[in-house]
Amino acid sequence: MTPFILPGVRVLVAAALEEDLGRGDLTTDSTVAADLMATAEIVAKQDGVMAGGPLVAMVFDSLRADAVTVDLLVAEGASFATGDVVAKLDGWARDLLRGERVVLNFLQRLCGVATVSKSFVEAVAGTGARLVDTRKTTPGFRALEKYAVRMGGAHNHRGGLDDGILIKDNHIVAAGGVAAAIEKARLAAPHTIKIEVECVDDAQIDQALSVGVDAILLDNMSLDEMRAAVAKIGDRALVEASGGVRLDTVRAIAETGVDLISVGALTHSAVSIDLSMRLALVD
């Protein structure tokens, strides 16, 4: 699903513009003539993966900058190199300058998420393990960041708490144990919803298997523990590994035979890709 049609994304764009512009762009309004036309290029200052291109036009639409045209030169999910022009813009110079920082902030963040996602995907290539994100996202940016994860070739876990049942440690404590939590969830959940439970040791895995569960999340287990868990569970449930997964450890985790690896770093630790906008006046 594309996030760009979601009302919340348009609200986010409007809020970003309000945050940056406030009562107006004092510098641009005082130094740039209202009748100047310009062209601009968004240039990559480092290698990366494209994500969020449609937001460029959304920003200028929200500015009511009708004269601005946007030409995206790198497809969503495609790689770009240092020095590449990823987009060209034409319009009134004042409009281009007013939207510059908001456009770059969105693109830099989402390209950063897509880029780190691709690096993790490449690290597990050929293993059969699927990389998924988490809910460790920037508040308000979840739909966009999860979209960027997909542009990097990884996959999405739950979009929110209403998107599936994942029984974690605190739920287990409150419910009175792994088996009790699963049974309570099964009674409450519609037949279309799968149930996953987080397990920290062999005993909890045994409890989960004894009452039947769709997926088991192995939380912060060693590689040997994961291999043993995969052998024990077999085809009785999907197996997900989670907990402090890094780029230098993800391959070894994938090779234990788990089906899924959830990586919070895809979003919470992604570093923005450096982009800049270069303006030139139109004769």
End-to-end Cα, the chain, rounded Å? 42
**Under the phi-then-psi rule, with left for phi > 0, alpha for psi from -120 to 50, and beta for the rest, what region is 122?**
alpha
Using CA atoms, how far apart are residues 2 and 222, in angstroms rounded to an integer?
Answer: 37
> Quick count: other Cβ atoms within 10 Å of Cβ 18?
12
Q: Name the active-site residue from 10, 88, 101, 186.
A: 101
- 232 in catalytic set: no
Buried b (16+ CB within 10 A) or exposed e, 231-250: eebeeebbbbbbbebeeeeb
Bridging pattern class, strands 215-219 and 238-242: parallel
Which residues are CB-neighbours of 282 under 8 A, at least 6 positions away?
Answer: 37, 38, 39, 90
- 136 in catalytic set: yes
Judge residue 199's burial from the number of C-beta atoms within 10 Å of its C-beta, 0-12 exposed, 13-18 middle, 19 or more buried.
buried
Q: Let me know: does 216 contact 167? Beta carbons within 8 Å.
A: no
Estimate to the nearest angstrom the gap between the alpha carbon of 63 and the chain centroid: 26
Q: Name the active-site residue from 18, 71, 168, 169.
A: 168
Using CA atoms, how far apart are residues 13 and 55, in angstroms rounded to an integer?
Answer: 8
What are the backbone dihedrals phi and psi of residue 167, each rounded to the nearest 5 degrees, phi first?
A: -85, 115
- 251 in catalytic set: no
- 194 in catalytic set: no
In a 13 Å sphere around the CA of 135, the CA atoms on its Cβ side amount to 8
- 100 in catalytic set: no
Q: Name the active-site residue from 100, 133, 198, 240.
A: 198
**DSSP reduced 3-state for 221:** coil
The residues annotated with a catalytic role in the active site are 101, 136, 168, 198, 219
